[in-house]
């Protein structure tokens, strides 16, 4: 099969011909229908500090995808040959302290597809049957391929009570963008968003943001306070990882509000715990990945109810053009980039 791999430490990628993966007793083989590029793939491509520490080449990378099951191991019972599935990127062990209590999203020995084991920038991928999400509704392949970032958005947004709430989402990457329709359909009163990229702010308006603010042009804290009787928003969803956005997010949050943080700063961030959390009586939640499978059921239900992610998909190309897609991601001149192997 054809595949895209990191063959040795260092920047770049290689187009290779690889053997079709062999499956174990409880694995399935998936023929990839559509894959999507994630920020993590850009890190692996560029070979940043994180990749140097985490990735052991050779590795076929890529982890956002969907496809058809074309082979099943003899012990497989939960999915069938021919079934169309999306895949949960985080492979959990199923028996650690956390998994046994329904908290697989923080599994002690979690393995990530396309990071710790071969991924989806290929014609075929082998995964455990337990990582498959068989759809109960009709979903186009492009949408089924982006359930990882969409799930992150669902997990973040639904971690707070959104009904009637003024919500601020900082960072309009794919996850922040996907959180807009989720918040709107989940009962938010108004959705404010920030980003420093006009391209991303334009996408945010298309996805349904009520107020799309660029901190380079205006102070979002003043803007938000003016529209909330000086109080601030009820809920902050921090999805940028940018220290400035984190600071503005907390400053825009009302007393006793909820802050859900998914963005990952590249280094430790200085923070005024006393004034921004303690005296304001703020609830802070850390959001890691997706709850397995609660987030998926909620995400599916929201898609069925009308969450429209089609405008989030801005580019489609054959796998051979992946470098073009990675460059678009680096420049931030895209929503989701879909690849067809
Ligand atoms: P991304 O990293 O491209 O999105 C970040 C966005 O923040 C960009 O559009 C950027 O322009 C914007 N930004 C930069 N400075 C800003 C500022 N001062 N104010 C407002 N916005 C600003 O794309 P993403 O894939 O959506 O990822 C978002 C974040 O979530 C990243 O930090 C990523 O590492 C993290 N992440 C976390 C998890 C998790 O499980 N916790 C999973 C995936 C990604
Ligand atoms: Zn576990």
Let me know whether 90 and 165 are in one domain: no
**116 in a domain, yes or no?**
yes
**295 in a domain, yes or no?**
no
Q: Give tens-digit pLDDT for 136-179.
A: 999 999 999 999 999 999 999 999 999 999 999 999 999 999 99
Let me know whether 57 and 97 are in one domain: yes
Residue 330 CA, ligand 1 centroid: distance in Å: 12
Dihedral sign for Cα atoms in the order 160, 162, 167, 171:
positive
Let me know whether 33 and 161 are in one domain: no
Residue 59 CA, ligand 2 centroid: distance in Å: 23
Q: Which residue in the block uniquely carries the two structure tokens 């998926």?
A: 296
Residue nearest to atom 2 of ligand 1 (CA): 173
Let me know whether 91 and 214 are in one domain: no
Joined tokens for residue 102: 């329904």
- pTM of the predicted structure, to 2 decimals: 0.98
Q: What is the number of the ligand 1 atom nearest to the C-alpha of 197? A: 11
Let me know whether 212 and 276 are in one domain: yes
**8 in a domain, yes or no?**
yes
In this prediction, the residues of the chain whose per-residue pLDDT falls under 70 are none
**292 in a domain, yes or no?**
no
Let me know whether 235 and 178 are in one domain: yes
Let me know whether 313 and 268 are in one domain: no
- What b/e readout covers 113-128, taking b as 16+ CB neighbours within 10 angstroms? bbbbbbbbbbbbbbbb
Let me know whether 63 and 114 are in one domain: yes
Q: Give tens-digit pLDDT for 182-236.
A: 999 999 999 999 999 999 999 999 999 999 999 999 999 999 999 999 999 999 9
- 3-class DSSP state of 109: coil
**47 in a domain, yes or no?**
yes
What pLDDT shows up at residue 334?
A: 98
Residue 114 to residue 61: CA distance in whole angstroms: 4
Considering its fold, how many domains does the chain have in total? 2
What pLDDT shows up at residue 151?
A: 98
Residue 250 to residue 268: CA distance in whole angstroms: 16
Q: What is the CATH number of the domain that holds 281?
A: 3.40.50.720
Strand partners, 35: 65, 339
Q: Known catalytic residues? A: 40, 43
**297 in a domain, yes or no?**
no
Q: What is the CATH number of the domain that holds 76?
A: 3.90.180.10
What pLDDT shows up at residue 219?
A: 98
Let me know whether 115 and 242 are in one domain: no
**113 in a domain, yes or no?**
yes
Domain coverage including residue 157: 153-286
* Mutate which of 105, 261, 263, 265 for ligand 1 pocket (most atoms within 8 A of beta carbon): 263
Work out the end-to-end distance of the chain between its first and last CA atoms, rounded to an integer number of angstroms.
10
Let me know whether 212 and 130 are in one domain: no
**162 in a domain, yes or no?**
yes
Let me know whether 282 and 161 are in one domain: yes
Residue nearest to atom 4 of ligand 1 (CA): 173
Rg (CA), the chain: 20
Let me know whether 138 and 19 are in one domain: yes
Residue 85 to residue 82: CA distance in whole angstroms: 9
| Region for 289 from its dihedrals, namely left if φ exceeds 0, alpha if ψ lies in -120 to 50, beta otherwise | left
For 217, counting Cβ atoms within 10 Å of its Cβ (0-12 exposed, 13-18 middle, 19+ buried), the class is exposed
Joined tokens for residue 262: 């998914």
| Region for 232 from its dihedrals, namely left if φ exceeds 0, alpha if ψ lies in -120 to 50, beta otherwise | left
């Amino acid at each position: 099969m054809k595949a895209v791999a990191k063959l040795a430490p260092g920047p770049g990628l290689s187009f290779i011909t690889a053997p079709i993966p062999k499956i174990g007793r409880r694995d399935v083989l998936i023929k990839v229908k559509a894959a999507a590029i994630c920020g993590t793939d850009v890190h692996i491509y560029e070979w940043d500090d994180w990749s140097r520490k985490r990735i052991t080449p050779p590795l076929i990378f890529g982890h956002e995808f969907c496809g058809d099951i074309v082979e099943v191991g003899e012990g497989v019972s939960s999915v069938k040959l021919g079934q169309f599935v999306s895949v949960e990127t985080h492979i959990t062990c199923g028996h650690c302290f956390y998994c046994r209590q329904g908290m697989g999203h923080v599994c002690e020995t979690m393995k990530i597809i396309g990071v710790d084991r071969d991924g989806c920038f290929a014609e075929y991928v082998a995964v455990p049957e337990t990582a498959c999400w068989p759809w109960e509704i009709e979903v186009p392949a492009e949408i089924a391929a982006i359930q990882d970032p969409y799930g992150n958005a669902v997990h973040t947004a639904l971690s707070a009570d959104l009904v009637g709430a003024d919500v601020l989402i900082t960072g309009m990457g794919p996850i922040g963008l996907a959180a807009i329709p989720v918040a709107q359909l989940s009962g938010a009163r108004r959705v404010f968003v920030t980003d420093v990229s006009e391209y991303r702010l334009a996408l945010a308006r298309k996805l349904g943001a009520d107020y799309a603010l660029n901190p380079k042009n205006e102070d979002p804290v003043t803007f938000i306070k003016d529209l909330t009787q000086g109080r601030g928003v009820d809920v902050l969803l921090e999805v940028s990882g940018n220290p400035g956005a984190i600071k503005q997010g907390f400053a825009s949050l009302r007393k006793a509000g909820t802050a859900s943080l998914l963005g990952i700063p590249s280094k430790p961030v200085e923070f005024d715990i006393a004034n921004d959390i303690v005296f304001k009586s703020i609830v802070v939640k850390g959001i890691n990945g997706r709850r397995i499978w609660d987030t998926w059921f909620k995400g599916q239900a929201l898609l069925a109810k009308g969450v429209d992610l089609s405008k989030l998909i801005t580019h489609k190309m054959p796998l051979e053009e992946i470098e073009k897609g990675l460059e678009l991601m680096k420049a931030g001149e895209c929503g989701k980039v879909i690849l067809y192997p």
